[in-house]
Structure 1
Amino acid sequence: MKKINALYIGAAIGVILFVFLLIVPPTIRMMEQLHFDIQSRWIILTTIIPIISIILLYSVLSYIRALHSEREKEQVKEIIKADLTEDEIFEDALFENEKMRVLSVIHSFAKIKGKKIPLSAIEKKTNFDIDKIEDIIVLLMADELLDGHFDYPDDGPIFVLPEKKEIKVRYIKDSKENIEKKDEKKKFGEEGSDLD
């Protein structure tokens, strides 16, 4: 969010400098050459040029917003395809953007808790209230970045992922306990084969 705000501020300063350095001086010279009266000059400088400036600024900001939106979509695609650990998801996972932040948490809980994800669990990880989480999930579903539906049991609302489709986020890191258990099984299997 800070980056995009800095871009907006930079764009606004750029447009102001562009107008005052490259539009206003030639306009004043042109009005002098054409012998405009003082009233006409005043109208042009206080009305027409500000309107042109606002249109120009709006166009630049809209372009920046469109570029940022495309970048966000690319980041979502990267997260969906990436091989990330839970920790990496929470570290890299889009805390600048609300939709992607919720999506990243759903990815994590889908792996940990299965297909029924309590919205309260997402709430704790994102610090958004449940109504806002529902709104964000609806937007994710509208953008076709997420499938599923809401359910409302007595113990609180949940988001249910579809049976056939799963969110694919693989975990590269394995816990020490699991590695030790695997090693023990291997050893036991080798010892068993020696006994045979």
Structure 2
Amino acid sequence: MFALWMFGADVERAMGTKKFLTLYFTAGVFAALLSALLLPQTAVLGASGAIFAVEVAFAMLFPNVTIILFIFPIKAKHLVMLFAGLTALNCLLPIGGGVAYYAHLGGLLYGFLFVRYEPRVWDLVSLWQAKQRARELREGEEIRRRVDSLLDKVNRVGLENLTRKEMEFLQKASQKFRKWKAVSASGGPGTKKEKKA
């Protein structure tokens, strides 16, 4: 946890809290899964994989920052290279002690991939969300047109003359409209709340 305290604050400031927490928790899951897959007989305890990911993120964001390792100064990028080399060596020639070295390796790998490709991932997520909003808007327009058509029919011939399918459609449309209204009111995806002065 000392390493998390040492590197985490700077990484969080550089990334933002949301992305930092995403890195930390998803790295822990990835590291545990990789360790369970490659070395199922070793239990994975603690957050070492996530902390290794934070260390890699720090080294990629601040590669030339000097860190004092015991009494020796070393740049962040070289320190992480040292950690990666020792971890890989322990994976190939395990010393023992029940240490989940593959979890450490998974954290190192995940931290590198996250920092390297994270902007593209968020761009893809934003693109997917935009497509979802556009699809919902199209779906909403289609539903409204059909609802208007059925309401015109009700005005002409009365509610009792609607078919069972038409009644079911109106009920489902009403439920969807209430759901969309609730999401919009709560500031859900694709909505913005105005700040009062």
TM-score by length of 1: 0.28
Compare CA radii of gyration and give the structure with the larger one.
1
